[in-house]
Amino acid sequence: MRCAVVGDPVGHSLSPVLHRAAYAALGLDWTYEAVRVASGTLPEVLAGLDDSWRGLSLTMPLKREVMALAVGARGEVTERARLVGAANTLLVDEPRLRADNTDLPGAVAAVRERWDGEVTRAVVLGGGATAASTGLAACELGAREVVVLARTPERAAETVDAIRRHPGGVHVRVLPLTTPAEEVGPAELVVSTVPAAAQTPDLVLRWARTPVVFEVVYDPWPTPLAAADAAADGTVLVTGLDLLVHQAALQVEFMTGRPGPVDVMRAAGAAALAARAPA
């Protein structure tokens, strides 16, 4: 069977490393590639899939674009993907397509693996699809207030709407990314979905000492925020590799019917990142 991660850019993705490691551990003679698919071209790609294909992992900018495609007579969207408003997983079960989101449960698992404390308030840095899934994960962890800090707040509307859809009745605010921490208020959890290049010294200073810092970026590593948090006493760092491994393990199960081997996949991912690091 064939699987792939699709998006643009996609050459940096660790997904092929993780999925191939899982297939080897499970004794499956499957393939998994990285395929560049630009925004607006996903429909023709899906139209060309035959019965040799089993699944696709979706990265930006396709997580939201796929939602309008995986509906109707040929497809379906899980309730979890509808809640997030984005899908990162597409199961090809000819002639049907089934879209799901493993970022949400993967984020919950990543945090709980590192920390079992209470979450009542969370801050999410960034306003894209990953911010939506991790913001909803904060709700699943118990948060009743989520503050979204976005570089362009008006462009975070879809993310804010997604978090507000959580059945727990969470209160959501959206503010500029540069808002001082004292205006935002304290939180047990801060999730950063912004690129390393956008992590200014001021942003790092404001958020690195939050009890739990969840940095979803895994390459380059460490990001300025992750490095500062790792040096801080009494804080917990949840990494982008943690998230990537847990969501990928769920994708493997979704596509193969067998649980993804988390430890094997994490070891493969860590080795690949170490090989990329400058000497």
Return the active site residues. 63
Give the amino acid at 16: P
Express the helix, strand and coil content of the chain in percent, nearest 5 each: 45, 20, 35
**Pairwise CA distance, residues 167 & 31, whole Å:** 38
Instruction: Kindly tell me the number of DSSP H helices and DSSP E strands found in the chain.
Output: 12, 12
**Pairwise CA distance, residues 255 & 91, whole Å:** 6
**Pairwise CA distance, residues 217 & 213, whole Å:** 12
Neighbours of 68 (CB within 10 A): 11
Q: What is the enclosing helix (H) or strand (E) of 116?
A: none
Q: What is the enclosing helix (H) or strand (E) of 76?
A: strand 75-77
Strand ranges of the sheet holding 53-58, from the earlier edge strand across to the other edge: 31-36, 2-7, 53-58, 89-93, 96-100, 75-77
Helix or strand or coil: residue 95?
coil
151 by Cβ neighbours in 10 Å (0-12 / 13-18 / 19+) ranks as middle
Bridge partners, residue 2, by sequence: 31, 53
